[in-house]
Amino acid sequence: MKVLITGSNGQVGSCLVKQLQSCPEIEFLAVDRDELDITSKQEVINTVNNFMPNIIINAAAHTAVDKAENEVELSYAINRDGPEYLAQAAEHVGAAILHISTDYVFAGDKDGSYSESDTVNPQGVYGESKLSGEKAVINACSRHIILRTAWVFGEDGNNFVKTMLHLAQQRNSLGIVADQFGGPTYAGDIAAALIKIAKLITDSKNTFNANNYGIYHFSGMPHVSWCEFAQVIFDKAVEQKVLVKSPDVKGIKTEEYPTPAKRPANSKLNTNKITIVFNTPASDWQSALNHLSDYA
């Protein structure tokens, strides 16, 4: 199996590289923006035609949600055009594309968790550009997996866990949003899920059912608020002696912490489909916090 990874320096991309290094049966080419500008159609064509992958995993994205409100052109170039070029190139060489998307494609106002068939209604540029990317990939490549996820964190890159640990060393009390809910998702679990799917697709026994291409949700359980997530981080950090003591955590409302882009109040994703089809359980985000010294 030959795998092309884009966005290799990001949270998920770096985990993909680490995990694939222990898979000798898989040849992979990992590229970030310096090695491949996915917004250049010709660069994408050249890279894919030269490497001839069986699988393309697109972990590249413009994920700066607030900046996206002003960087509209850039957001669509990276989140829509790049995925489209990768999907077109995949189709041309007979490869499958595994593309990471987001909970932001939903309005976030539903009661209960979102399933793959629920109506999409993004509320900002980031969500709109990511939804456009989903549609572009689906239209360009018949062999596609769209993996929607949420609240991603890991040892590499910037994320909520690192921010909380940093703030906890500076302040005695913190106000954390308590009326937005979702499933924190460990980047390493996303990478493992993608590799598992890639192996099933390229299985020499050809047991993969083509009807299983499509959209899947993958995120963490149990669902919590940002405030509850932060408290677990602090409790575990104290247990592991990463922090001397936990700051006092006060739950605040979304309107008390205004941001340029609107956040979904409900980012809960139903992961039953991926569990059934690919035997992949939801991300165990609490276990992923058992080695917080790696995040500090």
Catalytic residue from among 126, 186, 216, 295: 126
Q: How far apart are the C-alpha atoms of 203 and 182, rounded to whole Å?
A: 34
- Spatial CA neighbour of 186 closest among 145, 211, 221: 221
User: 286-294: long-range contacts (C-beta < 8 A, 24 or more apart)?
Assistant: 286/232, 286/236, 288/153, 288/186, 288/188, 288/189, 289/161, 289/232, 289/233, 289/236, 290/236, 290/240, 291/240, 292/161, 292/165, 292/233, 292/236, 292/237, 292/240, 292/242, 293/240, 293/242, 294/155
76 tagged catalytic? no
Q: How far apart are the C-alpha atoms of 130 and 124, rounded to whole Å?
A: 10
Alpha helices in the chain (DSSP H): 11-20, 41-51, 65-68, 72-76, 82-93, 125-140, 160-168, 187-201, 226-239, 272-278
Q: How many CB atoms are closer than 10 A to CB 252?
A: 16
The answer to whether the CB of 257 falls within 8 A of the CB of 207 is no
Phi/psi for 146 (5° steps) reads -100, 120
Our measurement of the distance from residue 87's CA atom to the centroid of its chain's CA atoms, rounded to an integer in Å, reads 18
- Residues with a known catalytic role: 126
